A and B are shown apart, each in its own frame.
Chain A
Amino acid sequence: MSARPAKLTRDTSWKHEATGLAWISPWVIGFLAFTAGPIVMSLYYSVTDYSLLEKPVFIGAENYQRLARDEIFVGALKNTLWYAAVSIPLGTIFAIILAAMLNTRIKARALFRAAMFIPTLVPIVASAMVWSWLLNGQIGLLNQALGWIGIKGPDWLGDRHVAMWALILMSVWGAGNAVVIYLAALQDVPTSLYEAADLDGVTWIGKFWHVTLPMISPVILFNVITSIIGTLQVFAVPYIMTGGGPDRSTYFFTMYLYDNAFRYLNMGYASAMAWVQLVIILALTALTFWLSRKLVFYRSA
């Protein structure tokens, strides 16, 4: 549109804007009240000493300086990053392999898919209960099963060297969501591409690497980013199953934030942690996008 056609459109354009805003106003109000407002408040609290019982007192960057020296915080941050660094690649690779197997010409695909998806629906508290039972060191089913093949299973949740791995193992149980998404993406890959590769005598590994992976790479990126955002907030499962122990080996970022805010009533300190968490999540998301530039292949229209 080069020449603005009529004065008429300009005169009535505010009406269009008003109509549009009116339609989205529920979200705008909710955004201001429950997201934008709180974020600004949280930034303010983060530079104050605030116990909820008294008014916030400005203390500058003290909370942030304290965080850098706080060994519990640094430990929780390390645990969280380690948990994410292991469970996200593990879950991603596992889900892609399962989806690829489901995408072959097999019967009962819907049944397999349902079996893998159902665990993702189980309420987090209930799955924490079930896994506490399965992973019980003395009488858990897992250690009984390991016993049959001659392995003496560890005290999964009671051993500080093992508890983190138990939680990572458990996170794989939730891979079904990603399996369903990857399967749908795989079904969208045009068969002509595989036929062309067949004519060229490409092996199945070659096809997977040069056709399948590039074609589903945008979906992988989407999933990895949602996993990063979700995993860095992990809370309920360790809170219920280990309480962060033993020896804080499964004490995560959000748990320390929660404890500071609602157990010790250090609202200012907790808010500084919240901001660190936000910055880490944004930075890792940006980094993932940046790293993926050359790896993600977008089909152009």
Chain B
Amino acid sequence: MGGLSGFGFFGSVTTVGKGDEGSAGRDIGLASRTAIYSMLGFVAVLFVAPLVWMFSTSIKPADQALSTPPRLLPSPASDTLKIASENYQAVWNDPVVDFPLYFRNTLIVAVLSVIGMVLSSAIVAYGFARVKWRGKKWVFPVMLATMMIPFPVVMVPLYVIFKQLGWIGTFSPLWIPAWFGGAFNIFMLRQFYMTIPKELDEAARIDGCTHWGIFWRIILPLSRPALTVVALFHFIGVWNDFLGPLIFLNDRDQFTLALGLQLYQSQTGNTPWHLLMAASTMVVAPVLVLFLLAQRTFIEGIATSGLKE
């Protein structure tokens, strides 16, 4: 974050308010504080409401999905567990849309893709951050520029290439490219490596360590937080991807969850909302659990991504 760290123009350098709970932030009067609480509360409720409603619909019987006024729990509420398990079992055991298989497929693709993305991006970032060579001065900007290239621009030729490779209708297009690194992830890791003191490398080199040794024994272990961010976001990206699987997979047995959910909606025709919401909840749940487990990593990962130059 080189350019953002000094405030020379203002002639003073202050510590940055980074606290998380009320400690930082600008002080304001009681009246405006009340107004802010109510507005934030209102917006927060609006933002979470669609998900709450999704879950609520998923645990109600078909004839109550549309009840007026809307209720959160089925009536009688004591039946909640029974109805919920009926709905979710109906989705899980659907005769046409094989959700257990799609879960498995998505997991396979996601794990293969995440391993490749983390490893390759970590290696390439080392080349940009720690190896002295002149070429990087112009390769690095080229790499940054590639982030602007929209996927639709390359999707037609990619389809042709993958078809010739015999990859269409297999998982390969969804994870093999990840093994060649991602520009944004490389960039983020490179920025992180730059914050690791160079003295560590030099000491290691004096001890006869090679670049690979420095990378493997010093840089990688110290970069665990940044690597976790890359892994998490890439996992979510694969889990959520719709266009990639839509183009490259054509056999129902190969579908990922995203495609499976869409298939479930379109093939049932007159959509039973309570079951569709149960299926949606199943697709969303793993991501939400991941977020709850690693909330800090998520927020910090997003927060820093916007501050990079």
Contacts from A to B (Cβ < 8 Å): 13, 16-17, 19-24, 26-31, 33-35, 37-39, 41-42, 45, 52, 98, 101-119, 121-127, 129-131, 133-134, 139, 141, 144, 173, 176-177, 180-185, 187-188, 190-194, 218-219, 222-223, 229, 232-233, 235-236, 240, 253-254, 257-258, 261-262, 267, 270-271, 274-275, 277-278, 281-282, 285, 298-301
Contacts and interface: CB of A to CB of B under 8 A. Distances in A.
24 contacts: A22-B127, A26-B120, A27-B120, A38-B154, A39-B153, A98-B43, A103-B25, A104-B28, A105-B22, A105-B25, A109-B21, A109-B22, A112-B41, A121-B291, A126-B54, A126-B261, A129-B265, A184-B307, A188-B16, A190-B12, A219-B306, A254-B152, A271-B156, A285-B148
Contacts of B124: 23-24, 26-27
A34 B183 CA distance: 12
Contacts of B276: 129, 133
Contacts of A28: 139
Interface string B2-21: 11111111101110111011
Contact of A301 (B3, B43, B186): B3
B22 A274 contact: no
Nearest to B56: A141
A23 B181 CA distance: 12
Interface stretch (B76-84, B88-96, B197-205, B235-243): B235-243
Contacts of B16: 187-188, 190
B227 interface: no
Interface in B22-78: 22, 24-28, 32-33, 36-37, 39-41, 43-45, 47-51, 53-54, 57, 65-66, 68-70
Most central of A26, A139, A233, A282 by chain B CB within 10 Å: A26
A102 B133 contact: no
Give the secondary structure class of B's interface: helix
Contact of A23 (B21, B123, B306): B123
B166 interface: no
B277 interface: yes
Given A184-B304, A274-B153, A98 B12 contact: no
Interface in B222-262: 236, 239-240, 242-243, 247, 257-259, 261-262
A125 B239 contact: no
Contacts of B247: 258, 262
Contacts of A278: 149-150, 153
Contacts of A129: 54, 261, 265, 276-277, 279-280
B300 to A, nearest CB: 8
B280 A45 contact: no
B298 interface: yes
Contact of A19 (B50, B133, B284): B133
Q: Which 5 residue pairs spanning A and B have beta carbons closest together?
A: A30-B180, A23-B127, A20-B133, A181-B306, A184-B303
Nearest to B119: A26
Contacts of A261: 155-156, 159
